[in-house]
Structure 1
Amino acid sequence: MSKLKIAVQKSGRLHDDSMKILQDVGISVDNGKDQLKASAKNFPLEVLYLRNGDIPQYLNDGVVDAAIIGENVLIEKGNGISVIEKLGFSSCKVSVAIPKSTEYKSIKDLEGKRIATSYPNTVNQFLNENRVNANLHIINGSVEIAPNIGLADAIVDIVSSGSTLFKNGLKEVEVLLKSQAVLAVSPLINTENQDILNTLKFRLQSVLRGRQSKYVLLNAPNEKLDAISNMLPGMNSPTILPLAKEGWSSLHSVINKNDFWKVIDELKQNGAEGILVCPIENMVL
């Protein structure tokens, strides 16, 4: 039986988040310490643990069928590789940072400056779009130290919390792009493995919808049902059940987690009581 070969980063936050979402979609991977390859027990899947920067080449060559990879790496190195699902975790930015003491007014201030980065393609495209000429120094790792040792006037690197910039006396002045983990597919994937990937994608979408939603149960007087129902459309419409208490009903629905507190405040203002909110593991449409 054919197995889908999927690459994930071999260590770090993206690795942990990738393995977590595979676990959440019901795939059990028996990966011992320092293994570079492991098979799933209950799904036709083989996981290869690779350096993030090497994954685009493995996809292009067809060594792996798919990958969970940072979108920023694909933009830098993955020309022609398709993204089939954005996964909503391991978010970061690729940004320009300069010493805190340096004055900065606009992108034009980078004209003629030395920029250290491990994202030369991304930076060159950004500079060309803004008609800025600068000198790039390509560095792999520890880019933040470059201004402190006189190697560069600015850097372009990944920014998550910003704590690394702060520790190195730098400030963020431009955002080139925003990135998150994505599911990418090899252009050389065969039909059988594409079918397996489609099944994996369906499971991932169900989990991602669940992560973005909350299940809400509440009690409300019947005269308020129409107003409250309009706030809680759910997937189609709310479920309404009569209560033993005369003139009252129970409503069950789904809301987007980003709208949670706004909706809860409106529900209370319209007479809702006993509001119970639950997480959703999966939402299958």
Structure 2
Amino acid sequence: MSILKIAIQKSGRLYEESLQLLKDSGISVYNGNDQLKVTASNFPLEVYFLRNSDIPQYLIDGVVDIAIMGDNLLVEKGQGIQVAEKLGFSKCKVSVAVPKAFDYKSLNDLNGLRVATSYPKTVIDFFTSKGMTVDIHQISGSVEIAPNIGLSDAIVDIVSSGSTLFKNGLKEVEVILKSEAVLAVSPQISSESKALLSKLQFRIQSVLRSKKSKYILMNVPNDKIDEISNILPVLKSPTVMPLAEEGWSSVHSVIDEDTFWDVIDQLKEAGAEGILVCPIEKMVL
């Protein structure tokens, strides 16, 4: 029987969220013994727990079929690897940072200077596109310490909250790219594995849609139902059920998280009362 092979980060910021996504997609993966390869109990999926920087090569070589990884790593090492789905979590930036005492006015201030980074290709491509050259010092970890020990004048690294930069006396001055977790696909994936990927992706999409939406119920005067229905950004049309009180109905629909408060304000102004909002576990189209 065919089995789909997926790589995820064995530790760090992507590990927990990747496992949670699989769990939310109805896939049981138990790794209580910290194994490097585990088979799901209820889906034809084999999970490889790998060092983050090694994942692109595993995809390129066809050792795994898919992976959950940051798209910043694809920019650095993922030539030929396609993105099947943006996952919306583990958002961060790849940014240029300099010591707080650096009198930074523009990117040109870094021309010819030393830059420490774990992303040499990304840095070279960025500065080259600006017509500039920098002296790259490649570091595997703890990039933030490089200016303090005299190894570099600036760094390029992942920035989430910025607290690590602050603790090391650095300030963010330029954003090279924005990143988030993605579902990446090996260029060597077989047709059998593609069929399994399609099933997995269907589940993942249902989970992602639910996280971006809310289920909403409200009491509406019958003469306001059409007006309320025109406000609601529904999948097809709202569900309308009569209430025990004559002249009123209960209207049910789905609302986008991003526009939630704007829509709520419009519904109240149109006459909706007793508005109840509920989370959605899955949303299957």
Q: For this structure pair, what is the TM-score category when the shorter chain's length is used for normalisation?
A: over 0.9
Aligned residue number for residue 66 of structure 2: 66
1:167 & 1:114 partners in 2: Cα distance? 21
> Counterpart of 1:184 in 2: which secondary structure?
strand
- Structure 2 residue 261 is matched with structure 1 residue 270: no
Q: Distance in 1 between matches of 2:194 and 2:206?
A: 18
Partner of residue 45, structure 1:
45
Amino acid at match of 1:207: V
What is the count of residue pairs matched by the alignment? 285
Report the equivalent of 2:98. 98
SS at match of 2:258: helix
Match of 1:159 in 2: 159
1:232 and 2:232 correspond = yes
The aligned counterpart of 1:283 is 283
Which ranges in structure 1 are unaligned for 5 or more consecutive residues?
none
Distance 1:136 1:233 in 2: 50
Equivalent residues in 2 for 1:48-127, closer than 5 Å: 48-127=48-127
Once the two structures are superposed, what CA deviation does each residue of 1:146-169 show, in whole Å capped at 9, x if it has no partner?
111111111000001111001011
CA distances 1:212-263 after superposition (whole Å, capped 9, x unpaired): 1000000111222222212213111211222121221111111111111221
How many Å separate the matches in 1 of 2:70 and 2:218? 40
Q: Tell me how far apart the structure 1 counterparts of residues 103 and 253 of structure 2 sit (CA, whole Å).
A: 52
The TM-score, its normalising length taken from structure 2, stands at 0.98
Q: Deviations over 1:35-55 (max 9, x none)?
A: 101000000000000001000
**Deviation readout 1:32-73 (Å, 9 max, x if unpaired):** 232101000000000000001000000010100110111111
Q: What is the CA distance between 1:184 and its match in structure 2?
A: 0.6
Partners of 2:85 and 2:268 in 1: how far apart?
36
Conservation of the 8 A alpha-carbon contact between 2:233 and 2:256: no
1:112-147 Cα deviation digits (max 9, x unpaired) = 111100101001111011111211111110000011
User: 1:57-105, CA deviations, whole angstroms, 9 ceiling, x for partnerless residues?
Assistant: 0001010011011111111001010010011111111000111121222
The TM-score with structure 1 as length reference comes to: 0.98
Partner Cα distance (1:30, 1:147) in 2: 42
- Secondary structure of the equivalent of 2:15? helix
SS at match of 1:258: coil
- Alpha-carbon separation, structure 2, partners of 1:160 and 1:236: 38
Are the counterparts in 1 of residues 124 and 133 from structure 2 also a CA contact under 8 Å?
no
What is the Cα-based RMSD across aligned positions, in Å? Answer: 1.0
2:241–2:249 Cα contact (<8 Å) kept? yes
Report the Cα offset of residue 110 of structure 1. 1.2
Q: Structure 1 residue 251 and structure 2 residue 263: aligned? A: no
Q: Which residue of 1 aligns with 2:17?
A: 17
Match of residue 222 from structure 1: 222
How far apart are the structure 1 equivalents of 2:234 and 2:174?
39
Letter in 2 for 1:23: K
Unaligned runs of 5+ in 2: none
Aligned residue in 1 for 2:132: 132
Query: What is the letter of the counterpart of residue 167 of structure 1?
Result: K
Q: Does 1:7 align with 2:10?
A: no
Name the structure 2 match of 1:209: 209
Name the stretch that deviates more: 141-150 or 256-265: 256-265
Render the CA deviation track for 1:163-222: whole Å, top value 9, x for unaligned: 100101111111111111111111111111111111001110111001110000001112
CA distance in 2, matches of 1:247, 1:101: 69
Using the aligned pairs only, state the percent identity.
68
3-state SS of paired residue (1:223): helix
